[in-house]
Structure 1
Amino acid sequence: MKVSTGWLADYISLEGVNAEVLADKITAAGIEIDGVERRNKGISRIVTGYVKSKEKHPDADKLNVCIVDVGQDEELQIVCGAKNVAAGQMVPVALVGAKLPGLDIKKAKLRGVLSQGMICSAKELGLNDKLLPKELQEGILVLPEETEIGQDIMKVLGLEDEVLEFDLTPNRSDCLSMIGAAYEVSAILGRELSLPKPEEEIVEISGAAGNTISVQIEDEAYCSHYAVRYITGVKPAASPLWIQNRLMAAGVRPINNIVDITNYVMLEYGQPLHAFDADKVEGGMLSVRLAHAGEVLTTLDGQERNLEPQMLVIADGVKSVALAGVMGGLNTEVTAETVSLVLESAKFDGGTVRKTSRQLGLRSEASLRFEKEVDPKSVIPALNRAAALIARYAGGAVQQGIVQAGSDDVEEKVLTLSLDKLNRYLGTDLSMLEVKTLFSRLHFPYGDVTQGLIEVKVPTRRGDICYDVDLIEEIARLYGYDNIPTTPIEGPTTPGALTKPQVLRRELRRLLVHGGYQEVLGYSFIQPEQGKLFPAFSEGGHAVSLAMPMSEERSILRTSVLPQLLDIAQYNANRRQSDLALFEIGNVFFTDEEQLTRQPRELPVLSLLLSGSSSVKQWNVAPQPVDFFDLKGALETVFAHLGITESVSYVGDSPEGYHPGRSASLYLLGNEGRVKIGTMGQIHPELQRKLDLEDTYAAEIALAPLYEAAQSRLQYRELPRFPGMERDIAVVVESSVPAGDLLALIRENGGSLLQSVQVFDVYTGGKMESGKKSIAISLMYRHPEHTLTDEEVGEVHDKVLAALQQSFGAELRK
């Protein structure tokens, strides 16, 4: 909303307050001012002049020599090239020494003829010439005939004006009008308001309007009040210059006195109006109704609109004549031949106007205001104001009476406000007198209820105020946000930080990305068959079906992330990208119920996928295909980072969906015993063939147990100062004994001296007895405070060997 300070000064004194200061005050009170526009773009010494004569230039066909009276002792000779210049015109004249945007005027000779100034166009004066009639956009600006000679053009065109650009939030539609802005500025500055009194300005003539026109509303849910006045004897012509200036300052193009006055009053009151050519209204009546199916209306912009039954229209006895609240119809347009008007003012339902405007792609200044709900109390005042101006500036005679349907009898909201609550919310110590003073500045009537309570009547123009907290906000912004004291925070405070799972999740992402893996994000929805491929986490549970799936491929919540990683691998393989290292940290879902009655279970998991080669092809190194141990190495890196390596064990139990001989389940030893946390291995060969994939390895690990078991802080150890003692052993055990179980037993019996233990060789076949295998293990012993002796190491080592022999029947290989 563009608010002219010159126009605003009609309602409230702005003495001593320039536009910048006013903009700062309005912004501080809660309505942001986007900018201050000065209509004077840097012009000076421009006056009005009368063109007494025009003659062709003797040496230039496109130039004219004009004699212009500018109210000085001598008339000026000015050479002008505008096509529309003519004798008898009032025009703006830049005198010698004048300044125009980007141009200084000097006495000069044009093709040998002296020119003592310049006759100016609107564009040369820095005006937005697009707001002028087309015939004036490319030529000089022709002023009204009644303009006095020699006047400063700044005053004539209102170029001393400054315009504030209100950036309004949707709740402050009351400031989509000059009067609404005046109420706001009056409250901010604490100055008196002087508003128009259209009921005193209008002069009615004999002849009741009700005998000429009638109105009706078919459904008051769409229009609560519809009123018209009947005006005869109008003479469409150009508007007075002061009206044109104010419209252009607001960004509205002047058209003629009738249309300009309706636009002027809309900007003034925020109440859109429309004028119909009365002679084109058939049947002597106007009706507010919904459009008929298949009805067509050509609007004032010349576009043919196909109407639908939910759209609200104004119709006469035969046809629709306007889109209610949006735009009038071309069939009742006011033209130069119009002599009688039906002037309309109404309160249309904002939601209906919004739907119509959006559906037709037709936005207007009227629809903008109706969509945000206009003040129901402005319908009649705006109608009277426009009628009075038309009578004064368009020669109209206003017939007696207002013809109306519906009513503006809207009950004003009455809210009760507690002084104690206000001060408690704002942290202030305002007295009741101060609060009443602020409500007086807002022009909100009030009355006492009991001690500390005040009853406030909210004007209908402020539809945004519904509760007592809204009143508190009004007090706060008028009192001044800067005046509200700063109160230290009381009570316990908790420093913000990431939770342990959030920290670990970020660390895992960083760890895997640095390890060469790429993170992917898949859908949370999969197809039912995919939900059966990897049931490790949902064993005994059921997949959660979507009530309204996007498609069959996305009809259940995923019970495993691996099917989608395989889809990604297949998509890349089809595009000759088979070397993949992918991971996703996401959730899987399942329920223990056959019919879902409560929230399904949701588990966070880490899923990995490897395929192709583990290294790129080079001239001196053959590419190595990924295998089980590449995947296991990635998992062990994760477990080592979390500090739980020794608590994790692997059991080759061939989980479903994996290769029977190249897969394992993972278990975590915790306070509650050994818990299964995931699966890993090569994808089952049949599934690989179905997806046309090379050997592909995958793992899926539940993160919740890892979060709980992980060390929350990194553990730093002192570098060893004393040498360690290494012992290697090779033990023969049954082929079914996992090496991990041997290592776990060694750690358990090695005590504090055992620093590390690692398998470095596994041997089967050859001379090895059938069903047996040899496992070579390296053990490192060290004491942090002294050098170990053979006796100390031997005692612990013998204990380890005895435990291996007792638990697994292990024999030292000779």
Structure 2
Amino acid sequence: MDVSYDWLTELVDVPVGPEELADKVSRTGIEVPSVTRRDEGKKKIVIGHIESMKMHPNSDHMHVCMVDTGEDELRQIVCGAPNVAAGQTVIVALPGARIANNEKIKRGKLRGEISDGMICALQEIGFSDSVSPKKYADGIYVFNEAIKPGTDAMAVLGMHDAILDFDITPNRADALGMRGVAWEVGATYGNKPHFDDQPVVETGKPVGDFLQVSVDDPDDAPSYNLRVVTGVHVQESPLWLQRRLWNAGIRPLNNIVDITNYIMLYFGQPMHAFDYDKVGDGTVHVRRAAAGEGLTTLDGTERTLTTDDIVISNGTVPIALAGVMGGLNSEITDSTTSIVFESAVFNRTSIRKTAQRYDLRSQASSRFEKGIDESNIITALDTAARMAAELGGGTVASGIATATSVSGAPTVIDITTDQINHVLGTDLDAVTVRGIFDRLGFGVTGDGDQMTVSVPARRWDIFIVPDLIEEVARIYGYDNLPATLPTATMTVGTLTPVQRRLRRNRTLLQGAGMDQAITYSLRGEDQANEFALENNATTKLAWPMTVDHQELRANMLTGLLDAVRYNAARKENDIALYEQGRVFIRANGQHRPDEHNYVAGVLSGNFANKEWNQKAQPVDFYTTKGIVAMLLDDYNLDTPVEYTTDELPSSMHPGQSAYIMLADQRVGLLGRLHPQYEADNNLPETFVFELNLEPLLAAGRADKIVAPAPKFPSMTRDVALLVDITTTSAAVEDVIRAHAGQYLRDVHLFDVYAGPKLPPATRSLAYTLTFRRDDDTLTEDTVEKAMAAVVDALETEVNAKIR
């Protein structure tokens, strides 16, 4: 919330400047990250009065104005604003002035006519478009009251005021109003606020002659109150009120709407004003919307409502979306003469969901969501009616139309100084504690160390003893609390086996040249189950922040592919990313999903760049499989994994992809994306892998046997085979190992060839077989017998031809 320092000093005595105040408040619980002034870097901007005006002789839209700026002579200023006119009181930047964007104003000529300064719009001196009145959006700002020429314009416009950015946490919504801020600052320095609450003067007919109000469900509107003001003249607000609003970041509109915004800033109580003549027959009914019911809100958008929305109706049709935005069919216009002011409390959960559903988050809905000071609902309503009578010349109807109400009673809590000192480690006496509660505006009764504290309704965040202890700590000063070392028994922290394994995975993948990425756990609709390794019933958020983040992911790859797409679009083509995290798997009928540890990776472009002594090495299937095999080898599984191409998803290349199986359970996926999938998703040629770590972590581990270095030499034999193209290397190796005898130590595939010189649908595989005895030297005869057995088995079992 933007807090005006000048306004704050009118409500409570502040003994320090804005910067020191910001530091002090930040140390007592509400962070104030910045203090800004709109006058910084600007100078020589004054009030001027246009005495006369004529058309520029060389322009069809410029005017030559003679302006009184409080000096002995009038200044001639050329102005092209469409709304400039004689008799206006305006903002003038003198020669040598600095305005917005550090622009310097110089005396010069415009189309041959001398211009001795500049008549300014608010935007030209540093106001944003969002707070500048719409009436003057395309022209200069014109004051609606007489001001002496030559007066400092920045002082008149409140630009010398310091604006403190109070970063309000949800539990401190009491500080979303200037009165709550005054209590907070006053408690910090031991000064109580001084509010000037004046009574409303009721001179009109009874409110019952104008309105009949009802609420269907008190849970929707625990407090709903209306006042009527007749004979109102809707016009521009006085300067002091406009200044209050734009220093708080709100655009002034007219005196009635500005009053409601002022009340919201002052009390923290959102209000709404209806045009009484558009209410209908004087019936105001708070109810739930009918399914499909329509309402055009003040922003001009037609809304189709649901039964979860609370609406204000005129007995027939909705005229406002309760607590969020009014309806266009009841807005205040220049022709409005009778006003209905609404001051209420609405169901905070319903307001939050409605504001989110229609993307109508506002300062009003934010306050209703966080909570309202129930003791000031009527006071705020009375103040609004009184201001409408003063600023609009209206007559306040007698009485308040109330459908529901709340007590606004204080919360009573019993506490002792022993409880406070025990938690804070202090030695505070009862007098000090009572003084702190008094500074906060809390009532205290009781004798000695026993206290009964009455917490006013404006502090609805306090309702148990620990809340009071926190208040004592804040006001006493966190930096004044004693520092002590913990006395608990210290234990040595260690990692669990799963934590160690996950860290080991990261070490191995980073050692393989991959970079870690962290992506969102929420995916768009129908994206969560892509590349899924497990059956999953999609888990959707009831209230997603965006349509791209509404389902809990069941795989890791879709997020990584977003990263590939992002990098490729920015000409970063060599990509090697991995992510280790959790996916969310929910069985049909299961209420809450289970979290499973996964690891996944994506590779594209070159895995090794071209150097003077080597060629570039593009990523391929074997690069990807090698990384996965390296990672799986480190698990030392007692059951080896197998690869299968059955039932591959359509997003994977059918000839360069495989599932990874462990004891008939699908634990992983690796390979290249299908070229069509790559084209449809703006992806380069991309290779991926994904592993479900849960079964890998639970699987048995093989014993590691340490063997001494061999004492006897090994012997190798090469064999080249011609096999059918559908025969896998794994099948050939299984046959070799089954028939090569006890002295076979290794089988290595060193060549694969397929080409026109071979029969169709065949390929050549060449292997090196290594033999060794550990207790004696191998003989040629033993190796030849083993090779003969291997050759015979290959010809019989896999229909191989020896080349």
Q: TM-score range by the shorter chain?
A: 0.5 to 0.7
1:480 and 1:407 mapped to 2: Cα distance? 38
CA shift for structure 1 position 140: 1.8
Which residue pairs with 1:578 in the alignment?
none
CA shift for structure 1 position 29: 1.3
Which residue pairs with 1:466 in the alignment?
463
The answer as to 2:304 corresponding to 1:306 is yes
The answer as to 2:223 corresponding to 1:225 is yes
1:459 and 1:284 mapped to 2: Cα distance? 35
Which residue pairs with 1:380 in the alignment?
378
Which residue pairs with 1:811 in the alignment?
none
Q: How do 1:358-437 and structure 2 match up within 5 A?
A: 358-437=356-435
The answer as to 2:256 corresponding to 1:245 is no
Alpha carbons 2:712, 2:777 under 8 Å: kept:
no
CA RMSD of aligned residues (A): 4.8
Q: 2:255 aligns with which of 257, 268, 284?
A: 257
Change (3 A) 1:584 1:458: closer
Which residue pairs with 1:277 in the alignment?
275
Q: Deviations over 1:85-116 (max 9, x none)?
A: 11111111223443324233444444454433
Change (3 A) 1:109 1:425: same
Amino acid at match of 1:421: Q
SS at match of 2:81: coil
Q: How do 1:87-486 and structure 2 match up within 5 A?
A: 87-101=86-100, 102-198=102-198, 200=199, 202-448=200-446, 452-486=449-483
Amino acid at match of 1:343: F
1:197 and 1:636 mapped to 2: Cα distance? 75
2:119 and 2:631 mapped to 1: Cα distance? 85
Which residue pairs with 1:32 in the alignment?
31
**Percentage identity across paired residues of the two chains:** 41
Q: Deviations over 1:129-167 (max 9, x none)?
A: 442234422322211143333322122111111111122
2:421 and 2:644 mapped to 1: Cα distance? 71
CA shift for structure 1 position 729: 14
Amino acid at match of 1:679: T
Alpha carbons 2:639, 2:700 under 8 Å: kept:
no
Alpha carbons 2:289, 2:307 under 8 Å: kept:
yes
1:86 and 1:696 mapped to 2: Cα distance? 80
The answer as to 2:5 corresponding to 1:5 is yes
Alpha carbons 1:680, 1:697 under 8 Å: kept:
no
1:345 and 1:174 mapped to 2: Cα distance? 17
Query: What number of residue pairs does the alignment pair up?
Result: 622
Amino acid at match of 1:447: T
Amino acid at match of 2:191: R
2:236 and 2:242 mapped to 1: Cα distance? 9
1:107 and 1:304 mapped to 2: Cα distance? 51
Q: Deviations over 1:478-503 (max 9, x none)?
A: 22221112112324323434356754
CA shift for structure 1 position 416: 2.2
2:358 and 2:37 mapped to 1: Cα distance? 36
Q: Deviations over 1:157-198 (max 9, x none)?
A: 111111111222222211111111111111112212012314
Amino acid at match of 1:224: P
2:580 and 2:157 mapped to 1: Cα distance? 68
CA shift for structure 1 position 383: 0.3
2:633 and 2:359 mapped to 1: Cα distance? 60
The answer as to 2:638 corresponding to 1:678 is yes
CA shift for structure 1 position 384: 0.6
1:187 and 1:206 mapped to 2: Cα distance? 41
Q: Deviations over 1:196-242 (max 9, x none)?
A: 314x2x21104211222121112111111111111111000000011
Change (3 A) 1:117 1:415: same
Q: How do 1:481-520 and structure 2 match up within 5 A?
A: 481-499=478-496, 502-503=499-500, 506=503
Which residue pairs with 1:666 in the alignment?
none
2:178 and 2:254 mapped to 1: Cα distance? 21
Which residue pairs with 1:22 in the alignment?
21
CA shift for structure 1 position 393: 0.7
CA shift for structure 1 position 477: 1.7
Q: Deviations over 1:538-557 (max 9, x none)?
A: xxxxxxx98x7459xxxxxx
2:13 and 2:508 mapped to 1: Cα distance? 69
> What TM-score, normalized by structure 2, do the two folds share?
0.67
> What TM-score, normalized by structure 1, do the two folds share?
0.66
1:61 and 1:517 mapped to 2: Cα distance? 67
1:358 and 1:397 mapped to 2: Cα distance? 38
2:657 and 2:89 mapped to 1: Cα distance? 89
Alpha carbons 2:580, 2:597 under 8 Å: kept:
yes
CA shift for structure 1 position 244: 0.6
2:98 and 2:641 mapped to 1: Cα distance? 85
2:39 and 2:403 mapped to 1: Cα distance? 46
The answer as to 2:58 corresponding to 1:50 is no
Amino acid at match of 2:87: G
1:518 and 1:352 mapped to 2: Cα distance? 44
Change (3 A) 1:54 1:406: same
Alpha carbons 2:50, 2:88 under 8 Å: kept:
yes
CA shift for structure 1 position 704: 7.9
Q: Which segment drifts farther, 510-519 or 339-348?
A: 510-519
1:517 and 1:11 mapped to 2: Cα distance? 60
Q: Which segment drifts farther, 478-487 or 241-250?
A: 478-487
Unaligned runs of 5+ in 1: 522-544, 552-563, 565-582, 588-601, 607-617, 620-624, 643-676, 741-755, 774-814
SS at match of 1:463: coil
CA shift for structure 1 position 64: 2.2
Alpha carbons 2:229, 2:397 under 8 Å: kept:
yes
Amino acid at match of 2:224: Y
Change (3 A) 1:709 1:496: farther
Change (3 A) 1:482 1:726: same
1:604 and 1:117 mapped to 2: Cα distance? 69
Q: Which segment drifts farther, 1-10 or 383-392?
A: 1-10
Change (3 A) 1:765 1:299: same
CA shift for structure 1 position 515: 8.8
CA shift for structure 1 position 281: 1.8
Q: Deviations over 1:44-63 (max 9, x none)?
A: 23222221110123344443
CA shift for structure 1 position 257: 0.5
CA shift for structure 1 position 73: 2.9
2:482 and 2:701 mapped to 1: Cα distance? 45
Alpha carbons 1:94, 1:119 under 8 Å: kept:
yes
Change (3 A) 1:710 1:458: farther
Change (3 A) 1:418 1:396: same
Q: Which segment drifts farther, 503-512 or 223-232?
A: 503-512
2:133 and 2:140 mapped to 1: Cα distance? 12
2:581 and 2:98 mapped to 1: Cα distance? 69
SS at match of 1:353: helix
Change (3 A) 1:697 1:46: closer
Alpha carbons 2:270, 2:343 under 8 Å: kept:
yes
1:268 and 1:470 mapped to 2: Cα distance? 25
2:373 and 2:657 mapped to 1: Cα distance? 72
2:658 and 2:262 mapped to 1: Cα distance? 78
Q: Deviations over 1:769-808 (max 9, x none)?
A: 9xx99xxxxxxxxxxxxxxxxxxxxxxxxxxxxxxxxxxx
Alpha carbons 1:273, 1:345 under 8 Å: kept:
yes
Q: Deviations over 1:604-649 (max 9, x none)?
A: 999xxxxxxxxxxx99xxxxx99xxx99x9899869xx9xxxxxxx
